[in-house]
Chains A and B, each alone.
Chain A
Amino acid sequence: MTASTTLEGDGREADLLAGFESTIAHNDRIEPRDWMPEGYRKTLVRQIAQHAHSEIIGMQPEGNWITRAPSLRRKAILLAKVQDEAGHGLYLYSACETLGTSRGELTEKLISGAQKYSSIFNYPTLSYADVGTIGWLVDGAAICNQVPLCRTSFGPYGRAMIRICKEESFHQRQGYELLMTMMRGTDEQRAMVQESVNRFWWPALMMFGPPDADSPNTAQSMAWGIKRNTNDDLRQRFVDMSVPQAEALGVTFPDPELRWNEERGAHDFGQPDWDEFMAVVKGNGPCNAQRIAHRRAAHEDGAWVREAAMAFAARSRDGHADTTREETK
């Protein structure tokens, strides 16, 4: 973990850096016990932690609808999806821990606000259609972001992303199917879908991060092979994928500038409200306080369970006979 502390001089550091850069240049993967520049480690910890926290906080908006899902089928699907989000968070925490950051530390940084999560989860889920819209657009945007990350230069991160991407496909399809079902329903249900899409379209576009010109970390992250595409590239890809899906569904996106550009072979589209984005990132979105308070309460209320499990494990190690005698009394 701390190879740099055992270095004898600058000469060796230069050798190690050359080795690292040649691994990146050959498109090989960096593995946890390899030497890596501190900046690379820090950038990865920040990005993977933010990603993990997003999965964990992302359970809340949809978890909100589990008890009110309209059928047993929908409830089972939503439960499985929210369980997947927990699983994705755990894969990513596991990848992050290989960089020498403990799980406890990451949780503390989430609930103290020292580390961020995706701002999309600071928007409320006001109607059941939001469950479908999140699956379609939010998970759709996440897939656009995540597929290229399967080839990221840090091995454990890429391997976690491969597992996650396989499962995200179910998330997006269940959302789209939910919306299709509602669109075949009453006028009221169709209006509910459109209203939900109107609310989530712009925040979904914000998920790709600020425009390239305002994204200071992008160039370094791409040079290190951590990121494979720029924010604007991925945003364009997402818009181009979503437009025909919206047409098939029978909804529109709330963007008067959205139209096909024959010359570019891509859609032109308007910019999200970046002032709103910055305000939400800084903590002033509709649900920031609620999301963190809920996560904090879950962590603190669960402390006695974690401690009891440790006490039980310690007692079992000390002598299994004692445990069984206690239990049969």
Chain B
Amino acid sequence: MTEQTSAEWPLYEVFVRGKRGLNHVHVGSLHAADDDMAVRHARDVYTRRNEGVSIWVVRSDAITASSPDEKDPMFAPSGDKVYRHPTFYSIPDNVPHM
């Protein structure tokens, strides 16, 4: 039994482009023996009803992610920079097209 578990097919993350003009979006994961099989399985599992026009698959162990537990949060530096947003600047009402 442990032999079967250790020979488990690797995990892939699946990204689907819903239609032309949109980004590929993460939809879930699946197991496949290799890259080609992962694309075919992704078609069967995640696009049975015209959900996509393009599929990306990538081995889950190839993804590097930011850590949610970092003590000094990664995204804090952008939190206090309100001047990066257009609403920070007041423009008189009589100035058009802005």
A-to-B contact residues, CB < 8 Å: 3, 6, 16, 31, 33-35, 80, 83-84, 87, 90-91, 94-95, 97-98, 102-105, 108, 156, 159-160, 163, 167, 303, 306-307, 309-310, 312-313, 316-317
Contacts and interface: CB of A to CB of B under 8 A. Distances in A.
Contacts, number: 66
A104 B65 contact: no
Given A3-B69, A104-B4, A84 B29 contact: no
B7 A310 contact: yes
Contacts of B1: 108
A35 B45 contact: no
Given A34-B68, A90-B45, A303-B4, A310 B9 contact: yes
B64 to A, nearest CB: 12
A94 B69 contact: no
B17 interface: no
A91 B45 contact: yes
A103 B8 contact: yes
Given A83-B48, A163-B27, 17 more contacts: A16-B69, A31-B68, A33-B67, A34-B68, A34-B69, A87-B45, A91-B28, A94-B30, A103-B31, A104-B4, A104-B8, A108-B5, A156-B28, A167-B49, A303-B4, A309-B9, A310-B33
A310 B30 CA distance: 15
Contacts of A306: 4, 7, 9, 33
Interface string B1-20: 10011011101000000000
